[in-house]
């Protein structure tokens, strides 16, 4: 079975599991406890924090460990905007292609705190231009929240240029880097806040982080014992934090080699699919996209039916975000990119991991895709 759904989750790396093991067994203390067992756990936690911070281009004190990317995005969007309300800033800017954890957080702020929302239109490739962002900013804008790379179509935003626009206007930029971590450099983007999730890069599910620069006020969402410097109460997941740090370091060390190698492999696969499947259309930006991301629509088919045919042939892929897998609605990302609803429901996403396939694999895989699409299209 060939697993091509790494945008949904990736397996835990053996090195990560080994690094975590001591903190699941012998060094099991509560990092808030003032005894030797607790102090050993606290030391490991702070070491992990510093290691994550280095890759995010932030200070150790800027990093808040969370349960994953969804919590990190919620804390960034709600926490920054709620803190800004007292200063008369009640406007937020985002786009319609963002992950549900951003869009639903924005909707919460609109419904319960009368925050005004601007969803800036994106191009049909999913890219946001700096000029479009500049036009959306106001004197009372509290936050801009954007994804570095889209989880469904793989489009990479010009974040450094967008950050320059936001910074010039005195508005903090939150970057959802859940999909881009390990594939793209994160340390020089100019973001005021950044979210990552462990299970996309070889750490377990249930651990993530939000980096927020110290100058940005942040209202906590979880209240209790005041852990994470008061930003996120609850006993910390020390083993998870250690695993996240190790996974992030490993991915960063491999990033240039893996991005080049997997990018070339994915480009060959995309070209083969477009050549072999007449109704195939690539979604997202053809140039500015994640190295391992290939997403298509297959007009005249059903995306779900194509997925079933592919799995029968030994290929696991997806129709888009795993977080919206139970919805029958067409992808909000594709709709925002101007794809008709009927065509959007034929979408299939292939996301490769960091391990390269054999040289012949892209063409062979494209042949399997063509066979699956033909079976669905003809009903045979």
Q: Which residues are catalytically annotated?
A: 323
Token pair of 99 as six digits:
């992950």
Rounded Cα–Cα distance for residues 143 and 106 (Å): 10
Token pair of 128 as six digits:
């946001």
Rounded Cα–Cα distance for residues 209 and 198 (Å): 8
Let me know: does 65 contact 42? Beta carbons within 8 Å.
Answer: no
Q: φ, ψ for residue 296 (rounded to 5)?
A: -135, 160
Q: How many residues belong to the chain?
A: 380
Let me know: does 190 contact 172? Beta carbons within 8 Å.
Answer: no
Token pair of 272 as six digits:
């083969």
DSSP string, 365-376: HHHHHHHHHHHH
Rounded Cα–Cα distance for residues 314 and 369 (Å): 11
CA dist 86 → 14, 94, 118, 140, 172 (Å): 47, 21, 20, 11, 16
Let me know: does 164 contact 146? Beta carbons within 8 Å.
Answer: no
Which residue pairs from 33-39 have beta carbons closer than 8 angstroms and sit at least 24 positions apart in sequence?
none
SS3 175: strand
Task: Give the other-Cβ count within 10 Å of 265's Cβ.
Answer: 21
Rounded Cα–Cα distance for residues 51 and 24 (Å): 20
Strand order of the β-sheet with 347-351 is 280-282, 293-298, 347-351
Let me know: does 297 contact 334? Beta carbons within 8 Å.
Answer: yes
């Amino acid at each position: 079975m060939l697993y091509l759904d790494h945008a949904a989750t990736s397996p835990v790396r053996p090195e990560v599991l080994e690094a975590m093991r001591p903190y699941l067994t012998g060094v099991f203390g509560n990092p808030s406890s003032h005894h030797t067992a607790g102090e050993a756990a606290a030391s490991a936690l702070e070491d992990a924090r510093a290691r994550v911070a280095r890759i995010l281009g932030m200070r150790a004190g800027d990093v808040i460990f969370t349960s994953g990317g969804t919590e990190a995005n919620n804390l960034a969007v709600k926490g920054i905007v709620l803190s800004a309300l007292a200063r008369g800033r009640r406007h937020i800017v985002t786009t319609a292609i963002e992950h549900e954890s951003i869009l639903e957080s924005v909707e919460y702020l609109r419904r319960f705190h009368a925050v005004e929302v601007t969803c800036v239109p994106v191009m049909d490739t999913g890219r946001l231009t700096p000029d479009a962002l500049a036009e959306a900013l106001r004197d009372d804008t509290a936050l801009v929240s954007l994804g570095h790379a889209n989880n469904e179509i793989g489009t990479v935003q010009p974040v450094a240029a967008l950050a320059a626009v936001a910074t010039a206007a005195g508005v903090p930029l939150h970057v959802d880097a859940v999909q881009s971590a390990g594939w793209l450099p994160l340390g020089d983007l100019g973001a005021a806040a950044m979210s990552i999730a462990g299970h996309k890069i070889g750490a377990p599910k249930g651990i993530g982080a939000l980096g927020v620069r110290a100058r940005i006020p942040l209202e906590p969402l979880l209240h209790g014992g005041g852990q994470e410097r008061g930003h996120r109460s609850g006993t910390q997941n020390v083993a998870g934090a250690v695993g996240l740090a190790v996974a992030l370091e490993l991915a960063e060390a491999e990033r240039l080699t893996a991005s080049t190698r997997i990018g070339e492999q994915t480009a060959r696969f995309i070209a083969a699919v477009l050549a072999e499947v007449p109704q195939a259309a690539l979604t997202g930006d053809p140039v500015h996209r994640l190295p391992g991301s290939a997403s298509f629509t297959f007009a005249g088919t059903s995306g779900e039916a194509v997925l079933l045919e592919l799995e029968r042939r030994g290929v696991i892929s997806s129709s888009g975000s795993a977080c919206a897998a139970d919805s029958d609605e067409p992808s909000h990302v594709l709709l925002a990119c101007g794809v008709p609803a009927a065509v959007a429901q034929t979408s299939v996403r292939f996301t490769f991991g960091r391990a390269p396939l054999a040289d012949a694999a892209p063409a062979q895989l494209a042949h399997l895709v063509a066979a699956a699409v033909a079976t669905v299209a003809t009903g045979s």
